[in-house]
Structure 1
Amino acid sequence: MPVQPSSLTAGALDATATRACLPWNALADEIGALLRDDTVSVPARTVLPLPGGGSLFVMPATDSQVAMTKLITLTPANAGTHRPAIQGDVVVFDVLTGERRLVLDGPTITARRTAAVSLLAARHLAQKPAGPLLIVGAGVQGLAHLEAFVEGLGVTEVWIASRSAASAQKLARHAATVGAQAHTVTDADAALPHCPLVAVCTPAQAVVLSAPPRADAFVAAVGAFTENMAELSPSFCHHVAAHGRIVLDSDDARYEAGDLLQAGLDANPLPTLGQLVRNGFPPATGPVLFKSCGWAGWDLAAARLAMRPHPAGATHPAARTTP
């Protein structure tokens, strides 16, 4: 049987094009809509170890109109090289025809949907959403959370802590381009009293926050996504559990949130963002820790938004409009 020419190129979006179709506020809104959608189905993700310490992630999800799978590799050994640590794609299909509609840049999807989930949580759970904001970790997620919180929450002052002074300075310069005043600090714990917003975005290879947060703090911790990873100390987690509340991004975090599990906390009773979106957000009292481990539902929300027309009205190549 002759092989038909592939139409992959027509529906493939590079990192720049993928970013352009996922504005921060629209993506946060789409994530909220997905959490209210009873047709969404998200099986457990598969993580396969690779030689050399890397991992292959297979993350499918679907709703009544869109099916997608994210295929990405995480290669920690690429840190400090010209190769990114996260590589891969999100492939989007029409569930009615089975046709492939889009191929999106996987690392861009991962960065933007993670920060947009934090943005959605902060909208509802942050007592002082305008900041100042402390970002711990000046990599891809630090950049994404900076942009999301500046655009989505109106943050104008940012404190940046990173083990790399050069990375911290680079992110501070970027903050200026999006309208925020930035300071770099060497001690993240010392900055906590000054910042009611905190985004912890490290590789989670070591604890970076141990001091208790402010009583009105909202802390989004996104770096640790396995039981063996942690960026928050047990004392930090216990303080929030005793004086405020902990919210999970999804049910999967109950067995993936290394920060909480290593602190000996029982994650089973903790509410998820989806439960709060559906049932209502309680009044804010004490610090809030939003523990995010990642979920294919967030990628599905990004795929749903990407399938819609550009703001100017044009539709992406090979894509259809979803109502």
Structure 2
Amino acid sequence: MMPTALNPAQTAARLPYPLLVGELTLLLKDTTVQAPSRVVQALPAGGSLFVMPALDARIAITKLITFTPANAGTGRPAIQGDVVVFDVATGQRRLMLDGPTVTARRTAAVSLLAAQRLAPNPKGPMLIVGAGVQGLAHLEAFAEGLGVREFRIASRSAASAQALVHHAQSLGLNARMVFDANTALADCPLAVTCTPASGVVLSAVPRPDGFVSAVGAFTPTMVELSAALCQYFAAKGSVFVDTSDAGHEAGDLLQAGLDVSRFATLADVVRQDIKPAAGPVLFKSCGWAGWDLAAARVALAAPGPVG
């Protein structure tokens, strides 16, 4: 039997943020989880092909996606592809999920989990830098998971920023567009940078109770935060990373000359109940197939046919 192939809306419906955060927590405690380093193959036109496998005692998944930065502003998505879910015991394909939807929702859920555990002041307002798919996902995740009601949206595209503001308002949230992310940071104890990471978008000194989740840069050459800002977090507050793979992927931290291996991972936070030191907190997220595995576990448990 062919597996059920879910479209973006169907995939999103199976991945509610509270369940995703709960499953991420369980996965970080699951000793059967394996997630080899992802394969990133450069494509001739400037994009990349990502192959990301992971497994636990019951299922195995592979996320196969393309990342095409040149699609920005064209109407074509920057991320395209699928997540295929297999039964470990039988080898049967169980489910096919929309790759971009999984990527958006699990990334926002990881940021949400980090904020729940580490943010000194989780009430908001929240600054979102980048008004694309990830900006929308983080807005919805933090509104649902932390009860944030007030947002500031900054984007190089005023039209995109205004569209996200209107979406937030349609959800009953208070949101407005800002033109200077660095100035807005002074009023926002929560922030996320989710841009194409082609240049620095945030450099201002954060609030003492600030929490920034930086998700856009996931290669050594990508960057969203200035070197001075990263160094400030390391010296005056705390830095956490999503996984140890950040040691060779976290462009923001690497370009700041920081020893990434000394920063605790989200698994350390969950397993050891680590608390941040006094001061602002930076959470650097690069992505990991384990997060996609958690999403697959949630999707399989949801009601409905799975093939």
Paired with 1:106 and 1:27, the residues of 2 have a C-alpha distance of 15
Q: CA deviation at 1:11?
A: 1.0
Contact 1:125 / 1:284 at 8 angstroms: preserved in 2? Answer: no
Q: Aligned match of 1:64 in 39, 57, 69?
A: 57
Aligned length: 307
Q: Aligned match of 1:169 in 136, 150, 162?
A: 162
Paired with 1:282 and 1:201, the residues of 2 have a C-alpha distance of 25
More strand by share: 2
Cα deviation per residue 1:40-64 (whole Å; 9 max; x = unaligned)?
0000000001111011000000000
Paired with 2:34 and 2:276, the residues of 1 have a C-alpha distance of 30
Partner of 1:236: 229
SS of the residue 1:155 aligns to: coil
Contact 2:238 / 2:276 at 8 angstroms: preserved in 1? Answer: no
Paired with 2:278 and 2:170, the residues of 1 have a C-alpha distance of 34
**1:183 to 2:176 alignment:** yes
Cα deviation per residue 1:231-267 (whole Å; 9 max; x = unaligned)?
0001110111111100000011111000000011110
Q: Aligned match of 1:289 in 278, 282, 292?
A: 282
Paired with 1:194 and 1:265, the residues of 2 have a C-alpha distance of 27
Q: Aligned match of 2:270 in 259, 272, 277?
A: 277
Letter in 2 for 1:220: S
Moved more, 273-282 or 88-97: 273-282
Paired with 2:196 and 2:302, the residues of 1 have a C-alpha distance of 35
SS of the residue 2:287 aligns to: coil
Q: CA deviation at 1:283?
A: 5.0
TM-score w.r.t. the length of structure 2 is 0.98
Cα deviation per residue 1:84-111 (whole Å; 9 max; x = unaligned)?
1110000000001110000000000000
**1:226 to 2:219 alignment:** yes
Partner of 2:300: 307
Contact 2:300 / 2:306 at 8 angstroms: preserved in 1? Answer: no
SS of the residue 1:166 aligns to: helix
Alignment of 1:1-323 (within 5 A): 7-8=1-2, 10-282=3-275, 284-310=277-303, 315-318=304-307
SS of the residue 1:208 aligns to: strand
Q: What is the identity percentage for the equivalent residue pairs of Structure 1 and Structure 2?
A: 64
Paired with 2:276 and 2:291, the residues of 1 have a C-alpha distance of 25
Paired with 1:151 and 1:110, the residues of 2 have a C-alpha distance of 18
Partner of 1:321: none
Contact 1:39 / 1:63 at 8 angstroms: preserved in 2? Answer: yes
Paired with 1:273 and 1:181, the residues of 2 have a C-alpha distance of 30
Paired with 2:295 and 2:276, the residues of 1 have a C-alpha distance of 29
Letter in 2 for 1:296: A
Which consecutive aligned stretches of 4+ in structure 1 deviate over 2 angstroms post-superposition?
none
- In terms of Rg, which structure is larger? 1
TM-score w.r.t. the length of structure 1 is 0.93
SS of the residue 1:144 aligns to: helix
Structure 2: 5+ residue stretches without partners: none
Paired with 1:177 and 1:169, the residues of 2 have a C-alpha distance of 12
SS of the residue 2:225 aligns to: coil
Letter in 1 for 2:242: D
Contact 1:72 / 1:89 at 8 angstroms: preserved in 2? Answer: yes
Letter in 2 for 1:316: P
CA RMSD of aligned residues (A): 0.9
Moved more, 102-111 or 78-87: 78-87
Contact 2:40 / 2:51 at 8 angstroms: preserved in 1? Answer: yes
Paired with 1:141 and 1:39, the residues of 2 have a C-alpha distance of 29
